[in-house]
Chain A
Amino acid sequence: MTGSLPRCLIVAIALAACVASANGGDIPLDQRRSGYADLGRDTKAMQDDDTSNPATLWVLDGEALWNQKAGSANRACAECHGDATASMKGVAARYPAFDAVQKSPIDLEQRINLCRTERQNATPFAFESHELLALTAFIGRQSRGMPIVSTDEKLKPAIEAGRKLFMQRIGQIDMSCAQCHDDNWGKHLTSSLVPQGHPTGYPIYRLEWQNLGSLQRRLRNCMIGMRAEPFDYGAPEAVALEAYLMWRARGLPVETPAVRP
């Protein structure tokens, strides 16, 4: 026992070291922090209080859409899914999820649009449309406070692809996501604090946008900043990156709808 244990430990430590060096600088799990932690007191208060959180308007519109009949099937989300406070609890915490029919990971926006086309015989909502953001915010709100979950083995290839994208330098400025959000979080890019980049609160109300926006919109912002060609909305690369980011944020609580500068 005493002879074999250290040997096991050595193997484990060696394996851990291999993983760590292959990952570059993954943030240790206990050092991860939501961007919320670095908000000013006013912005925190805005997020925490539904009556002052601007995203509440979208959540309420999303609730109305949830109960509204749509498409040639003349069917509301609620007719299949019932009371969202029960049926949607925890759902946003585990998206992107693997869709057996599509045989690929899909994010929550794509899930909503699949329900529209497949179940309601309705036209899909455009990405970043008020309706899609509203329903996503309403569904996401039902998971507020619940830990992000990323345990589905079928997501592994997408998570691995997303990790590669996160590590890849892009654009004329030639920087990777990891170079800021793994290696330099907590420092300042001009006036902006570089966050760790955990997608805990999407869709977010971003003060800079004066609007609600999706994680994909936020990712496109960073890519455009790097003078890179952004991923198209709904592109497999974008969903893979979302899947990686959710895995990376596993265990952190959902804040949807969050407020950010």
Chain B
Amino acid sequence: MTRAVSLAAAIFTALAGGGFGLADELRPYQIAGGAIAVSLTGTPGDAARGRAIVVNRTVGLCLLCHSGPFPEERFQGNLAPDLTGSGARWSVGELRLRMVDSHKLNADTIMPAYYAVDGLNRVAPAFRGKPLLTAEQIEDVVAFLATLRGQ
């Protein structure tokens, strides 16, 4: 019985595609000094995985609005700042807060909160209750952005 339920949950999660089921909850975090100092997962992310998320236009979505040091990627957006040098401009904790919920820094920013499910309107059923990225994905992206130290 329990196995059937967990199997169903696994299938549901797989179908939902985000790796984040409705039953999952966002991990708690603390904002201090314009940053989230502690990793959401308790461990550092993987920069190589983070890069893959950043350039993936249906997962990270970053290049829809941002451009950056991705010479192989055509058609990068310019609605938002260039990601080049992000790791030099911001600390890891500052990058984490910018990914988790940029609205905490600027209520009017067009940067979506990548790790929030509350306060949204008319979210399509397939995405309801799910953040844009999981805690693991956020950490991977933060780890990658921290490597962007060039000019």
**Could you tell me which A residues sit within 8 Å of B by CB distance?**
168-175, 179-180, 183-184, 187-191, 194, 223-224, 227-229
Which B residues are within 8 Å of any A CB, using their own CB? 57, 61, 63-65, 74-79, 110, 112-113, 120-127, 130, 132
Majority secondary structure, B binding face: loop
- B77 engages A172 (CB within 8 Å): no
**B61 partner residues in chain A, CB cutoff 8 A:** 173
Most buried by B among A169, A173, A223: A173
Determine whether the beta carbon of A189 is less than 8 Å from that of B64: yes
Cross-chain contact B79 with A172 (CB below 8 angstroms):
no
What is the distance, in angstroms, from A88's C-beta to the closest C-beta of chain B? Answer: 35
Knowing A190-B63, A227-B127, say if A174 contacts B57 (CB, 8 Å): no
Contact call B77/A171, Cβ cutoff below 8 A: no
Nearest B-chain residue to A183, judged by Cβ: B110
A residues in contact with B127, CB < 8 Å: 171-172, 227
A-B contacts, 14 of them at CB < 8 A, read: A172-B120, A172-B123, A175-B112, A179-B110, A180-B110, A184-B79, A188-B78, A189-B65, A189-B77, A190-B77, A191-B74, A223-B122, A227-B126, A229-B123
Complex CA–CA separation, A179 to B106 (angstroms): 14
A224 lies within 8 A of B124 (CB): yes
In the bound complex, do residue A175 and residue B110 qualify as a contact, i.e. CB atoms below 8 Å apart? yes
Judge whether B124 and A172 touch: CB under 8 Å.
Answer: yes
* Contact between A228 and B79, CB atoms less than 8 A apart: no
Given contacts A224-B124, A227-B124, contact A173 B112 (CB under 8 A): yes
By the criterion CB–CB under 8 Å, are A171 and B63 in contact?
no
A185 CB → nearest B CB, Å: 10
CA distance A102 to B150 in the complex (A): 62
Extra A-B contacts (16), CB below 8 Å, given A170-B121, A228-B123, A229-B122: A170-B123, A171-B121, A172-B124, A174-B112, A175-B110, A184-B79, A188-B79, A189-B79, A190-B63, A190-B75, A190-B76, A190-B77, A223-B122, A227-B126, A227-B127, A228-B121
- A179 / chain B contacts, CB cutoff of 8 Å: 110
A168-B79 in contact given A173-B112, A174-B112, A190-B57 (Cβ < 8 Å): no
Smallest CB gap from A224: residue in B: B124
Q: What residues of chain B lie closer than 8 Å to A188, measured between beta carbons? A: 75, 77-79
- Report chain B residues within 8 Å CB of A229: 122-125
Expressed in whole angstroms, the Cα–Cα distance for A224 and B124 within the complex equals 8
